[in-house]
Structure formats: C-alpha cells, structure tokens
C-alpha cells in the first residue's frame, strides 16, 4: 500500500513539474511577461511625462497672447504686417 501511494505521489509531483516547465503559463512565460510588463511601464511613464509637458504648453498658450504670438512666429513662420521673414537653414 505504501508503494502505491509513493508511486502516485511521484506521478502527481512529475505532473506538476511538467506543467510548471512545459505547458502554457510556464516559468519562461512568466519571466517573459514580467520583463515585457517592466518595459511597458517605463514607456507609459515616459508618455505621461510628455503629456504633462504638452498640457503645460497648452495652458501657457491659452492663457498668454505673448506666448501664442511667439509660438506662431517660431513654429509656423508667421510675420506681422510690414515685416520681412528670413529663414536661416542650419546644416
């Protein structure tokens, strides 16, 4: 009787080990997903930082006419009446 229980215990143990290393959701999948999760969290934090900078720029542009004028001049190349636009191209 003890031999049968021991043999069944060994079979159950081997089945668990096989599942742990070779079936779906095994140890290597866990490690891969953990690394992927870490990478995605770092990307999310970078995107959140960029969003905060953009929100700050939007708030600044909407609250100040001077900032809006500077943005239009430097980024869109807009000029006032009786001004001449000269573009300098850097190599």
Measured distance CA(26)–CA(19) in Å, rounded: 7
Taking the chain, what is the end-to-end CA distance rounded to the nearest angstrom? 87
pTM for this predicted structure = 0.54
Q: Is position 45 within any domain? A: yes
Q: How many domains does the chain have?
A: 1
Burial label, 67 (beta-carbon count in 10 A; 0-12, 13-18, 19+): middle
Specify the pLDDT at position 40: 98
Q: Is residue 77 part of a domain?
A: yes
Within a domain: 10: no
**Tell me, what's the pLDDT at 63?**
84
- Whether residue 3 lies inside any domain: the answer is no
Cβ contacts of 67 within 8 Å, gap of 6 or more = 60, 61
Full domain range(s) for residue 70: 26-91
Phi, psi (degrees; rounded to nearest 5) at 52: -65, -40
7 assigned to some structural domain: no
pLDDT by residue, tens only, the chain of 91 residues: 888 888 888 888 888 787 777 777 777 888 999 999 999 999 999 999 999 999 998 888 788 877 777 777 777 777 777 877 777 788 8
């Amino acid at each position: 009787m003890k031999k049968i229980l021991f043999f069944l215990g060994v079979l159950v143990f081997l089945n668990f080990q096989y599942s742990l290393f070779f079936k779906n959701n095994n140890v290597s999948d866990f490690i891969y997903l953990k690394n992927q999760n870490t990478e995605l969290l770092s990307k999310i934090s970078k995107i959140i930082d960029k969003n905060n900078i953009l929100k700050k720029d939007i708030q600044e542009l909407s609250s100040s006419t001077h900032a809006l004028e500077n943005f239009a001049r430097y980024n869109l190349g807009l000029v006032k009446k009786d001004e001449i636009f000269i573009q300098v191209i850097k190599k």
